[in-house]
Every structure is written in C-alpha cells, then in structure tokens.
Amino acid sequence: MTKQELEQCIEEYGRDIYSFCRYLTNDLPEAEDLYQDTFLLATEVKERIEYNRNPKSYLLSIALRIWKNKKRKYAWRKRIADVRSADDALEADSGGTAELSLEEQILATEKDESVRIAVSHLPEKLKIVVLLFYMEELTTAQIAEVIKIPVGTVLSRLHEARKRLKKELEDVL
C-alpha cells in the first residue's frame, strides 16, 4: 500500500474506525488513543495492507488487537498493584432530526442509550461480534477474518448476543 492509498483509507474509513474504537473502549480519551495507535501501526505496516482486498477490516483488526493487548496489560498490572479504572461513562451522541418532536427525540435518545448500555454489558467476545456486525456492517466472513475465528463461531456468538439483548431490552423496546 502506498502513502496515498493509506491516506485515502484514512479519509474513507477513519470515521468508522474511530466510531468502532469509541464503542469498544466506552471512553472518549481512550478511544482517541486507540484510534491514533491504530493508524500509527498502519503506517508502520502499510506494505502488508492490500488496498484491493478489504483495508477496512484489516484496520479494524489492528484496532481490536491493540485494544486487547492494552486490556491484557491493564489486567496484569491490576493483579500486581490494584489501580483504579478509568471512568466508564459513555457519552451519548446528541443527534436528533428536526422533524421529530422534542418528546420523540428524548424517547429515541433514551432507547439508543438503553441499547448502548445493553451492548456494553455483553461479554467481550459477544460485544465485539455485535459491534463489527451492526456498527461496522461487516459480513460474518469478514468478522471471522478480523478476529481470526471460524465463521460458525461468529454466527453462534451473534445468535447468543441477540438472545441476551432481546431478553435485556424486552421492556425498553
């Protein structure tokens, strides 16, 4: 991949990668760090990225790998010396359309927040699959490639996540 192709990837997929990082970390500053680390590593390994194949999924796998390493390192440090965790508050997006009344906007925001909270309560393995499938709109085959598991495992995790979310969001939705 050339420098121009990498810049084009940042233009095309940067917003999606940032959004994925934000949902993955549930922390704005940490998401920004993860986003920057992802593209720093991408510039280092740009020769390995094939622009014709699916650079977005490769970039997502880089972000996921960096995040998992950070979590593993944090868990190890916490075992050695207990450190207070970062604030896990998720900032709600303030995006409403002018056509909706104020009441409808508030209800929609509350529903969105309920779904975000429910997804954040999922186990990590399920949460990653849900985010990649619904937020990044990757196919199950692409998800399998990104997180390096069989397609059948992706399907079963997606099914389990849907079942848990349905149960948790039954009253809200």
pLDDT exceeds 50 at position 93: no
User: Burial level of 82, CB count in 10 A (0-12/13-18/19+)?
Assistant: exposed
> What does the DSSP 8-state code read for residue 82?
-
Residue 6 token pair: 């990498």
Model pLDDT, residue 82? 46
Model pLDDT, residue 91? 38
What percentage of the chain has pLDDT greater than the value 70?
Answer: 84
Transcribe the chain into DSSP letters. Answer: --HHHHHHHHHHHHHHHHHHHHHHHS-HHHHHHHHHHHHHHHHHTTTT--TTS-HHHHHHHHHHHHHHHHHHHHHHHHHHS--PPPP-PPPPP----TTS-HHHHHHHHHHHHHHHHHHHTS-HHHHHHHIIIIIS---HHHHHHHHT--HHHHHHHHHHHHHHHHHHHTTT-
Residue 125 token pair: 């393995």
pLDDT exceeds 90 at position 102: no
How confident is residue 86, by pLDDT bands cut at 50, 70 and 90?
very low
The model's pLDDT over 16-49, given as tens digits with 9 standing for 90+, comes to: 999 999 988 888 999 999 999 999 998 888 788 7
The model's pLDDT over 129-142, given as tens digits with 9 standing for 90+, comes to: 998 998 888 899 99
What is the mean pLDDT of the segment spanning 139-154? 92
pLDDT exceeds 90 at position 153: yes
pLDDT exceeds 90 at position 114: no
What is the mean pLDDT of the segment spanning 109-135? 87
Domains, the chain, ordered by start: 3-80 (1.10.1740), 102-169 (1.10.10.10)
Higher pLDDT, 64 or 90: 64
pTM higher than 0.75? no
